[in-house]
A and B are shown apart, each in its own frame.
Chain A
Amino acid sequence: MALITMQPTRTGRIAETVFFLPYMLSTSVVGTLWAWIFQRNYGLANQILKSLSFEPLGWLTDPSIAMTSIIIATLWWTAGFNMILFSAGMKQIPDEIYDAAKIDGAGSFTTLIKVTIPLLKDTSLLVLILQVIASFKVFGQVYVMTGGGPYGTTRVLVQYVYKTGFNYFRLGYASAMSVILFLVILLISSLQFLRKPDQAL
């Protein structure tokens, strides 16, 4: 479930605007939109498949791909957020390092692999941690798009807590699950302190 996205952050302002736009939308809007895109008969995804003369897929009804569909929607939604973190990290890399790389005769690809990515280690760790935490807290997309189905293949923790608590009214059991979820998230968040205490978050 950890959805790590590496958006090219060297893109211009338009790209930044476009990638970040979905993140402004509510999870229920994202959910309904993608439920419609993945709709079996008239949805965009299957219409594209059909026009390329492939078999249409049961994006949200086939147990083996329903989770993939949700991941696609979530990626679309949150990639912009991670992009912002990465570009903030990149802005902290001083220009001198790039100049030095250029003098040493490094091409732009080599610079990217040998300079930028290693220097973004801290940011990457942060993004990874935030992303894992966020993945544990996923609820809206799943609730709207599949309701946890088909056959519970897309059921996630928060949705199970919700269902246990408010559909079956087993509030004690649901609270216990919440506590476990909290401990898991706390554990992951505490990994953040392993980072060198440098840039302000």
Chain B
Amino acid sequence: MKKPLNILVRLLILCLIIIWLIPLVWLLVTSLKSENTVMTDKLSLIFAPTLENYKKAFSSTLLGRWFLNSLIVSVITTILTLLIDSSMAYVLARIQFSGRNILFIFILAGMMIPFEVLIIQLYLELTKMGLANTLIAVILPRLAMPIGVFILTQFFKSIPLVLEEAAFIDGASRWTVFRTIILPLSKSALFAVAIISFINAWNDFLWPLVAISSSEKYTITVGIANFQGTHGTEYSLIMAGAVLASIPQIIMYILFKKNIVKSIAMTGIKG
């Protein structure tokens, strides 16, 4: 595969890249056009760019609030997932107890259940708990991330036991060992889990749509989707919202592209 590509293949690839980019360019361009230009202007890329849509999105819609909600949900979900998954994985990787393997298989079986089939039951359950229409309801079901437990368990198992044993001889407790030896050595795996968890939480659409009923508690994905109902024809405003909703992922993608691609290839998650 290290052969130089011939010109025809190169051209084909270039065409594909352009086709893939057009929607994104169109998204950005529309969001920078004024409302009137969108309706009168044809395909031209020459226009006076304006930030009025972005200003309007913050001033006359709840977009700022939604952005904050999404941020709260994603950050809390990520932190709690890391805590839960890493401690669970440590127990599964290092501590012998009867039924450990069964428990591990049980957790892995959770990966086979698609989230989509659970929404009705989850909704009923959380309503009974009195949590319907709260951000807690959005966060709670997302904390169970079997793939995270799996990745971390495998990783912890690969850390040589010798390191821990030395610490135990020095009189360190399990907790100290976990905190000062295991976690620092597992940065890359923890990072992968954090990325998956954050992106899943930020991009989730179906569950917040079900769990939240009042518009000031929407996450940004639900808010954007509802723009169409409330701001039907203000396309430049809607696109400005869509751009804002994508900023965190774009930033993360630029910063951590390699890790993201790797962790997604590794886990085969599918949105």
Contact = CB atoms under 8 A, between A and B. Distances in A.
A155 B210 CA distance: 18
Contacts of B210: 162, 166
Interface in B206-237: 206, 209-210, 220-222, 224-225, 227-228, 235
B57 interface: no
Contact of B264 (A36, A84, A181, A182): A84
Mostly helix, strand, loop or mixed at chain B's interface?
Answer: helix
Interface stretch (B11-19, B93-101, B134-142, B169-177): B11-19
B116 A18 contact: no
B239 A15 contact: no
Contacts of B21: 18
A200 B155 CA distance: 13
A116 B3 CA distance: 14
Given A21-B253, A130-B270, A186-B112, A29 B120 contact: no
Nearest to A140: B205
Interface residues of B, number: 69
Interface string A158-175: 100110011000010011
A136 to B, nearest CB: 8
Contacts of A179: 117
Contacts of B24: 21-22
A178 to B, nearest CB: 4
Interface string B7-44: 00100110011001111101100100000001100110
Contacts of B38: 42
Interface stretch (B75-83, B183-191, B241-249): B241-249
A65 interface: no
Nearest to B222: A28
Interface of B: 1-3, 5-6, 9, 12-13, 16-17, 20-24, 26-27, 30, 38-39, 42-43, 112-114, 116-121, 123-124, 199, 202-206, 209-210, 220-222, 224-225, 227-228, 235, 238-239, 241-242, 245-246, 249-250, 252-253, 257, 260-261, 264-268, 270-271
**Top 4 A-B residue pairs of the complex, sorted by shortest distance between their CB atoms:** A26-B203, A28-B225, A178-B117, A28-B221
